[in-house]
Structure 1
């Protein structure tokens, strides 16, 4: 299962070249260093960088002065901030506002398209991290801006960028965030549940594991995370289902690995949350990476 750990300092398997990080220690996150060719400016406010990333790459805590849209037409990535984590499935995108300290993990070989957005052009309302659907129009707009430099003049780049931002503004957020607490007792419990989501313990059993009363744990869930124990556990199950589905696992196996007694019970919970069955949610349209997908990572 993927590790939904919050952004924090510690040992990292960092890709040293293609991810363009500075040498700031993870405990003191520094700005993300990006090649000038991709840095957004007032004259070119929306820039795109596309590249394949190997499985297992982890990027430690960092921040940047611009907003970022991370989009994977192929593969699964994980983004974590201080108090939440998201697993982003194929053909969805995550919006990260400027100056938000975050980390990234690649859970399987992925093709990452990253849009960098200058703060001056960020639409109103996009002030929090969110995962959104990539509509057919947004997919094509991103593909249209992912072309060689010589094929994209400044006026066209401006028009495409403006339409991309309007689509992102209109996109509905998906309930894929797994909020993480700051209280050490509750964080210990949450990390244990994340490591073994199929363990069908009751709140009483998890409370004993954390060394607190069920009433205390229930109160901490509501105070720190704004939801009940059952609601948080459901978010974990949904997040853990994403990498399993992206690997092509049958739905029955996904339900079994996540602790559900039947495929139908898991499907019913999934449809209540997303309004679609798992098979409908994970069915994506054709979205082939551009011809540049075979470039080395350290481009």
Structure 2
């Protein structure tokens, strides 16, 4: 399945020009790029692994079957050869780390959401100060330390699965863009050309969960940049379609076993 092109106007179709690939002598490279809100990168692949991270701002990263909303306290590992697209939701200083395929820290996983530790953040900033390609003792030291730290970073279960059915794709794309939309499944059925019963069956078949459960995952993903940006929980709840702050917090604690503030706090 191919990834649908991002909804926003595309200004950038690839992250970087050729010539900055990691090598055995320099297994990790990084080239900084600052992007504006609603910039996007069309679906593409790399021969290397990539840790997609931004110093500030919020990204949406999508693969064929999942999407993630990524604030600065998180990063997404994307394995070599995995097709992905990136949309900028808030102006961001993008710092993608390219990792030689043979040195992939998670060889058995296509994607993984990581909590960016203080050490990892500083290593990314230090790597940015080096010439992008030239091998050096310092580049080697930083690369090896970063690979060790990546393997130690905690993971975060913030993933929104995506469907293959085109009717369900339309519904899901709209909810990803407007997670607080109040429409019921019956209401969405009238907009995407399928009955409520058909949509309910497709959610269970393709995504392994009900419409309500999937919408909850979308809202949880959107909560990350809101809370990380300091938005009051009462407003987060309102933006995401919850009746009250307590209803949002209760749902969150039931899902993750902790409060929203604690979960999305800076590491």
TM range (shorter): 0.7 to 0.9
Deviates more, 1:236-245 or 1:203-212: 203-212
SS of residue matched to 1:221? helix
When the two structures are superposed, what TM-score results if normalisation uses the length of structure 2?
A: 0.85
- Work out whether 1:82 is the aligned partner of 2:69: no
Partner of residue 141, structure 1: 123
Q: CA deviation at 1:195?
A: 4.1
Question: Aligned residue for 2:110?
Answer: 128
Instruction: Quote the residue 2:207 is aligned against.
Output: 225
Which of 278, 283, 288 is matched with 2:260 structurally? 278
Please give the secondary structure, in 2, of the residue aligned with 1:127.
coil
Aligned equivalents of 1:126, 1:52: Cα separation in 2: 31
Aligned CA distance change for structure 1 residues 15 and 212 (closer, same or farther; 3 Å): closer
CA contact (8 A) 1:50 1:113 kept: yes
| 1:25 matched residue in structure 2 | none
Q: Which runs of 5+ in 2 are unaligned?
A: none
SS in 2 for 1:216: helix
Hey, what does 2:4 align to over in structure 1?
7
The 1-side partners of 2:15 and 2:171 are apart by 33
Aligned residue pairs total 264
Task: List aligned pairs for 1:36-47, cutoff 5 A.
Answer: 36=19, 38-47=20-29
Specify whether residues 172 and 222 from structure 1 end up closer, same or farther in structure 2 by C-alpha distance, changes over 3 A only. farther
**Alignment map for 1:1-299 (pairs within 5 Å):** 6-8=3-5, 12-15=9-12, 19-20=15-16, 33-34=17-18, 36=19, 38-149=20-131, 154-207=136-189, 209-284=191-266
Does structure 1 conserve the Cα–Cα contact (< 8 Å) formed by 2:6 and 2:85? no
Deviations 1:198-250 (A, max 9, x none): 23444444445544444432331122112232221111101222343344322
CA distance in 1, matches of 2:115, 2:106: 18
Q: Distance in 2 between matches of 1:142 and 1:260?
A: 37
Paired residues of 1:76 and 1:90 also in contact (CA < 8 A)? yes
8 Å CA contact 2:9, 2:38 repeated in 1? no
Given that 1:14 and 1:58 are in contact with CA atoms closer than 8 Å, whether structure 2 keeps it comes out as yes
The runs of 5 or more residues in structure 1 that have no matched partner are 1-5, 21-32, 286-299
* Cα distance in 2 between the residues matched to 1:146 and 1:251: 35
Supply the RMSD in Å over aligned alpha carbons. Answer: 2.7
Tell me: higher relative CO, structure 1 or 2? Use CA pairs within 8 A at least 6 residues apart.
Answer: 1
